[in-house]
Amino acid sequence: MSDNASGQRHDRTALILYGSETGNSQDTAEELGRMAERLHFLTRVAEMDAVEIGLLLKYSVVILVVSTTGQGEFPTNARKFWKSLLRKRLLPGCLNHVPFTTFGIGDSSYSKFNWAARKLHKRLEQLGANEIYPRGEADEQHEEGIDGTFLSWSLDLKRHLLASFPLPEGVEPIPQEVLLPAKFTLRLLETTPDQDSQSEQDHQLTSISNGDSSTQHTNNNLHSTKPEPEDPTMLYLPPPEPNEPAVGPQLKDHLEDLIDPVSTLIPSCSHLPIPGGFSIELMENKRVTPLTHWQDVRLLTFRMTADEHQYEPGDVVTIFPKNFADDVQGLIDLMGWNLVADKPLKFELTGPDLLLDPYFAALPPGLYARENSTLRQLLTHNLDFTAIPKPSFFRHISHYTDDQRDKERLLEFGDSRYRDEYYDYATRPRRSILEILTDFTSVKIPFNEVASIFPVIRGRQFSICSGGLGRQVARPAHQDRKTPDEFIKVQLLVAIVKYQTVLKRIRQGLCSRYIASLQQGMHLTVKLDGTGSFYKIPDLFPEFPVIMVAAGTGVAPCRSLIWERAGVIANRDLDDDSKPVGPNVLIYGGRNKKADFFFKNEMTGTAMRTKVLTAFSRDQKEKVYVQDVIMREGKMLVELILQRGVVYVCGSSGNMPKAVRQAFLRALVEFGGPGLEKNMDNAEKCLAEMEKTGHYIQETW
């Protein structure tokens, strides 16, 4: 039990912790938090790394939600917490009387499916924590996604909590149709005459960015391609005048008769106060697929300071996309927020602070905002109203309409008993929040509650595709060569997500749309994260052979590895007695050689010291895939594996990595020699050992 500020004790407290890389675990944890609140638990939802393990003892129930990343690893925001559970000085039984359960989110195309959740659950039990409900596991490959497991698991958990923590007589769970109190709201700050004048200027600048010709002619000097200054109040500035973005349709049909909603208004690139974030400059945004090709793939080239940031193969850059000015203004108009859109705001605590916990005075998880931000800035930089909403969103906004018919429809979409209706309306046609609010025009959300209703814009991770010799020093053109600062090149290979829905509408991902419109010279705030295990073996043992299997843009981390190994060779002295760098083999798959063979010229060149084998599925009558090449070249590949070779499988998750793994098993059985030949069980043990020791690495998404 825990005490509040008044000395009162509470025996219904719930702590829901999450470890999340892409946001799925966070969404799941927040849904569990709402469930616990409706059962009258005083509830906290937080990242695992935001708490010390001793805090677990203060709650009457602890629920941990964690996804598995990479090779059975914990997400970045859960690794500190996990390490704290492994401390040797922890005594057995130190977590006695901690009632807990866990829910894992994984991808069954990985061999280490849900390993993070399983390791976490086992370790908590070793430390004496008591499982009050069996662990749940979700599979992203399920036909219904995470919900395929979560809905039934959470419903049973709810029944169990009610039985284990019965409510007092006369007290009932809070019904779904009752709005839960917000933990925080937005409030207008007191403004000075100077701030009022600035707000008027912001309104004029917004008109310019949305094509108001009456003011645009006299204010052309306000447009600039220079990066915006670091401004403590993050005042809204218009985006620079862009050229027409070169956006190609990622569709297999001719769609000239359809309206393409791509905007040419580029969001401003004000830096967000992202923990661990830093600024990089875009040198080039180049399309690398033909304009006639169905898929638009970009090679983004950035530069960053070499003395502060370094990277190695397998590392990722996180880009934080933004909403476009015309969409932001459309939402402001729809909700009637124009009078407050450009006034400075502050977050105000409204939820319970009974645990004297600093979390309750913090911003929502993942919401990076400057002090005194305006509503327009929050909608541009922080809140994702282009996302496909969860069912809870429909339940939430049903409270902001007086139209009984709209209210009933919204509650139906948010009711777990009508999942098919929700799927047909929201998920299948990929309807965004903005489109839904356009459909339900009677809904008017108060501006001060937007941060409690709209999801946060999450960063998108992209594998770095440069390295070694490809990490050439690049100085800004205007910089004096005598200055000491050096810059290194960072490149990303990004497929622009664009598709047609069942409603014959063209959709584009938020980050894809943002990336497609970025212009040379722009500065972005990004994060750089390392996986740790990707480059470990080739770095320590460069003599080991490397086999890479990549499909499409999955070639990105492979290219980085190839460049890195070429750099190791180039940087050695002639009399260096280090071990030689082993051979590289790249098995690359795509649809068409003319359109999809990324980095063809350099990959087939002698400088990269790489044997390239290709599988282009649409270039001949019978389709050929990477797994077919593995079987065809099985003898040579097995020889390299038996020389302690390291295998990488990179690209989309799902069927491809499963088929590739099966192909390697069959090759080991056919060409593995004594102990492996004609013995699938031994081949499976061999591959499992490779996975355990870091000699078989799957990097898929």
Q: Tokens for 519, please give them.
A: 């212009």
To the question of whether residue 693 is assigned a binding role by annotation, the answer is no
Q: Sign (positive/negative) of CA torsion 74, 77, 81, 87?
A: positive
To the question of whether residue 20 is assigned a binding role by annotation, the answer is yes
To the question of whether residue 511 is assigned a binding role by annotation, the answer is yes
To the question of whether residue 136 is assigned a binding role by annotation, the answer is no
To the question of whether residue 463 is assigned a binding role by annotation, the answer is yes
To the question of whether residue 459 is assigned a binding role by annotation, the answer is no
To the question of whether residue 24 is assigned a binding role by annotation, the answer is yes
The Cα angle at residue 559 between residues 556 and 561, in degrees rounded to 5: 110
To the question of whether residue 404 is assigned a binding role by annotation, the answer is no
Q: Tokens for 177, please give them.
A: 């149709």
To the question of whether residue 652 is assigned a binding role by annotation, the answer is no
To the question of whether residue 152 is assigned a binding role by annotation, the answer is no
To the question of whether residue 418 is assigned a binding role by annotation, the answer is no
CA–CA gap between residue 241 and residue 264 (Å, rounded): 9
To the question of whether residue 70 is assigned a binding role by annotation, the answer is yes
To the question of whether residue 109 is assigned a binding role by annotation, the answer is yes
CA–CA gap between residue 558 and residue 507 (Å, rounded): 30
What residues does 286 pair with on adjacent strands?
A: 299
Closest CA to 470 of 594, 554, 533, 556: 556
To the question of whether residue 622 is assigned a binding role by annotation, the answer is no
Measured CA distances, 386 to 357, 382, 701 (Å): 33, 12, 21
Q: What is the CA radius of gyration of the chain?
A: 27
Tell me the three state secondary structure of residue 147.
Answer: helix
To the question of whether residue 592 is assigned a binding role by annotation, the answer is no
Q: Which residue has the tokens 């200054």?
A: 229
To the question of whether residue 626 is assigned a binding role by annotation, the answer is yes
To the question of whether residue 624 is assigned a binding role by annotation, the answer is yes
The neighbour count for residue 220, using CB atoms within 10 Å, is 9
Q: Which residue has the tokens 């530069």?
A: 303
Phi, psi of 647 (to 5 degrees): -105, 130
To the question of whether residue 568 is assigned a binding role by annotation, the answer is no
To the question of whether residue 108 is assigned a binding role by annotation, the answer is yes
CA–CA gap between residue 217 and residue 240 (Å, rounded): 15
To the question of whether residue 7 is assigned a binding role by annotation, the answer is no
Asked if residue 306 lies in contact with residue 529, where contact means CB atoms within 8 angstroms, the answer is no
E strands, 255-342, are: 278-287, 297-305, 316-319
To the question of whether residue 609 is assigned a binding role by annotation, the answer is no
Tell me the three state secondary structure of residue 172.
Answer: coil
Phi, psi of 578 (to 5 degrees): -65, 160
To the question of whether residue 105 is assigned a binding role by annotation, the answer is yes
Torsion of CA 64, 65, 70, 75, to 10 degrees: -70
To the question of whether residue 23 is assigned a binding role by annotation, the answer is yes
Asked if residue 26 lies in contact with residue 18, where contact means CB atoms within 8 angstroms, the answer is yes
Give every CB contact of residue 577 below 8 A, 6+ residues apart in sequence: none
To the question of whether residue 68 is assigned a binding role by annotation, the answer is yes
To the question of whether residue 19 is assigned a binding role by annotation, the answer is no
To the question of whether residue 460 is assigned a binding role by annotation, the answer is yes
To the question of whether residue 672 is assigned a binding role by annotation, the answer is no
To the question of whether residue 461 is assigned a binding role by annotation, the answer is yes
To the question of whether residue 617 is assigned a binding role by annotation, the answer is yes
The neighbour count for residue 137, using CB atoms within 10 Å, is 19
Alpha helices in 508-572 (DSSP H): 510-516, 536-540, 555-570
Asked if residue 39 lies in contact with residue 45, where contact means CB atoms within 8 angstroms, the answer is no
Closest CA to 45 of 53, 35, 54: 35
To the question of whether residue 69 is assigned a binding role by annotation, the answer is yes
Strands 498-500 and 506-508 turn out to be antiparallel
To the question of whether residue 263 is assigned a binding role by annotation, the answer is no
Asked if residue 495 lies in contact with residue 295, where contact means CB atoms within 8 angstroms, the answer is yes
To the question of whether residue 553 is assigned a binding role by annotation, the answer is yes
Q: Tokens for 629, please give them.
A: 């090449």
Measured CA distances, 287 to 290, 293, 301, 436 (Å): 8, 11, 11, 33
To the question of whether residue 458 is assigned a binding role by annotation, the answer is no
Binding site for FMN, residues?
20-25, 67-70, 105-114, 140
Binding site, residues?
20-25, 67-70, 105-114, 140, 430, 460-463, 509-512, 553, 617-618, 623-627, 701
Binding site for FAD, residues?
430, 460-463, 509-512, 701
Binding site for NADP(+), residues?
553, 617-618, 623-627
